[in-house]
Amino acid sequence: MKIVLLDAITFGETKLDCFEALGDVHTFASTEASLTQLRIENADVVVTNKVVITKEHMQSTPSLKLICVAATGMNNVDLEAARELGIEVKNVAGYSTDSVVQHTFSMLFYLMGHSRYYDEVVKSKEYSRSTVFTDVSHPFFEIKDKTWGIIGLGAIGREVARVATAFGANVIYYSTSGRNSSDEFEQVVLHRLLESSDIISIHAPLNEKTKNLLNYEKLQHLKEGAVVLNLGRGGIVNEEAVAAIVDERELYFGLDVFEKEPLPESSSLLAVKHPERLYMTPHIAWTSVEAREKLIASVCQNIKESF
């Protein structure tokens, strides 16, 4: 069995030994679109994280029986074409929940605690020259008794809600699909969530209902000092709107996902006058060592179950 890994660089240093036990493995760190067809030639199994697999790729690879998406989202594979051609497509769900939840709080603490400022004030020796033992110039607040609004109450959203509650937050949520419900937390309409929340975290997929969900007009409804964290998908929060509003009001945004990844050098997010109100990470919330190990093990298991 020929197994082709198209973008193994996304797995970092995670061991890929389990693939070797399953067949003849061809591993590529990354694959440009122009090389995809050549690299999957005669493959029985293709493993992809973000490399796009089109109907034409499938039609030109009659040996192909299984496409393993090393992620939860499968928007990089033409699923309809796969069904038509009898090619199985498998993803992996739930492997990164703990990692994403942890990064959600990491982003919150960085922004809410003004970590960038306080770290720099010590390292620059400004604190050393101070006549006061402390620095309260950048006030921060406790999570306790704050309203935490969650957009997207799936597995990750529910776990964030559980941890937020442990900190003493009052959790409300907006279901982007309209299907998720909870007896534990209050479901509200979007405008009420935006107006009421001190902290908002997004854990929703990108689709017709969530595309540009938080545009400039919607962001105007946020409370002064509110923190918004997007760990769902880029495109849910309008990036141009974020770049504009952080220079107009004291609002804070943590962004781990972007509409185009990597983030273009020309992005307006990289030219704001108040960068301290932005904390941006390169789509890493899912990448804890443990999460990547679970991911690889699950992909190998998906292959075993199909042959």
Distance between start and end Cα atoms, the chain: 9
Considering 233, 239, 259, 277, which one is annotated as catalytic?
A: 233
Considering 120, 142, 248, 261, which one is annotated as catalytic?
A: 261
The CA R_g of the chain, rounded to the nearest whole Å, is 22
Mark whether 277 is an active-site residue. no
Mark whether 261 is an active-site residue. yes
Considering 103, 203, 283, 292, which one is annotated as catalytic?
A: 283
Q: How far apart are CA 48 and CA 21, in angstroms?
A: 19
Instruction: Give every CB contact of residue 247 below 8 A, 6+ residues apart in sequence.
Output: 272, 273, 274
Instruction: Give every CB contact of residue 198 below 8 A, 6+ residues apart in sequence.
Output: 141, 146, 147, 148, 223, 225, 226, 227
Q: How far apart are CA 287 and CA 293, in angstroms?
A: 9
Q: How far apart are CA 297 and CA 61, in angstroms?
A: 26
Mark whether 191 is an active-site residue. no
Q: Which two tokens stand for residue 186?
A: 């209050």
Active site residues: 233, 261, 283
